[in-house]
Amino acid sequence: MSHAGKRTSQHRDHDREDRDQKRRPAHTQETSSKDELVVYRILCPDKAIGSVIGKGGKVINSIRQQTNAKVKVVDPYPGADKRVILVYCYVKHRDLKHSDIDADDDDREPVCAAQNALLKVHDAIVDALAVNSDSDDEEANILVPASQAASVIGKSGSVIKRLRSVSKSFIKVKPKDPSDVTHSCAMSFDNFVQITGDARAVKKALFAVSTIIYKCPSKENISLETSIDELPPTIILPSELPVYPASSLYSVSDASMPSGHPSLSILGAPSHGSHVPEFTVPTDAHGGVPIYHSMVPAIPTYNTPKCSGELLLRVACPADKIGLVIGKGGVTIKSIRKESGARVDVDDAKNDKEESIITIASTEPPMM
């Protein structure tokens, strides 16, 4: 990876502007009406975010100091498998003639502090993923609002075709899919821009795409908040989350529900005369677990005698996802308890287990 060794007077002036901004109150910096905001959002796989932040924030703080840009990690979104990293800065004016995507690597100068930081964050992500990968290919994923994505694509795809040709990388743009829970980290107007190829190709394409974003200010309002809104009382589970049946769905045997009862077909037929149905989770069009207001299915009565008892469901959750279920300060799980009236317990003991068990229990009233 090459870096330009000579800094232009424009960049020295920009550094002075950043130092001046640091002397202003924080709220003045964030809401400045005179300076223009340049913001990028790069996606980092969950498994790499710790390395990108570094022990005690060492890595991310180093990027901030080297570039004078704002770099923030957004709280995790339920169901998303990547974290959003906000990278932004303020500029007095945009130099729309700056930079040529055909330029050699050594001749490329960052158009602003935020772009410089974006490229360094990308390097940190690549380094973190390289530890467990033998592939020479790299990948960069960024969120781009629709107005800017249109500029990246160009009329009849002319711009993106040229970007692919010049960088020798593969660039794909796709809008947010509301039905895909892994897309929860994107706003409604966002597009996912994915760049893949060898290290040099990806870096060159990322530079070119981020330059276009710099030259074409977003028409949409991009939030700079790192905390996400409180979630509604809905259980949102990652698509890869396995769900296993409890050893006993009803804690007491209920002879009023025969093994051949048609209502059990909803949950799966019992075996060997057991009255405990097998819990089967339906999947959506993408093979993921859909969003439920209740993970406990309703059983029609079919004019059968009443049945009652404690309904028990156990869900196995990957240990690295349990924080999403609990929520910040326990807000998500408390909301689920309050709205459902069920007892929800999480076995999140700090150990070497790869999964945590979520136990959901409630006493069901008799069904007539």
Structural domains in the chain, CATH included, are 9-215 (3.30.310.210), 262-364 (3.30.1370.10)
User: Is 258 or 187 the better-scoring residue by pLDDT?
Assistant: 187
Note the pLDDT of residue 274. 44
Q: What pLDDT, in 10s, does the model give residues 225-267?
A: 988 765 444 444 555 555 554 444 444 444 444 444 443 333 3
pLDDT in tens, 65-101: 999 999 999 999 988 999 999 999 999 988 776 555 6
What does R_g of the chain's alpha carbons equal in angstroms?
26
Average pLDDT over the chain reads 75
Contacts of residue 56, Cβ cutoff 8 Å, sequence gap at least 6: none
Residue pLDDT, tens place only, 7-55: 444 444 444 444 444 433 333 345 455 789 999 999 999 999 999 999 9
pLDDT of residue 145: 97
Question: Who wins on pLDDT, 137 or 72?
Answer: 72
* pTM tops 0.85: no
Residue 276 banded pLDDT, cuts 50, 70, 90: very low
- For the ranges 123-127, 226-230, 355-359, the lowest mean pLDDT is seen at 226-230
Q: Which residue has the higher pLDDT, 204 or 347?
A: 204
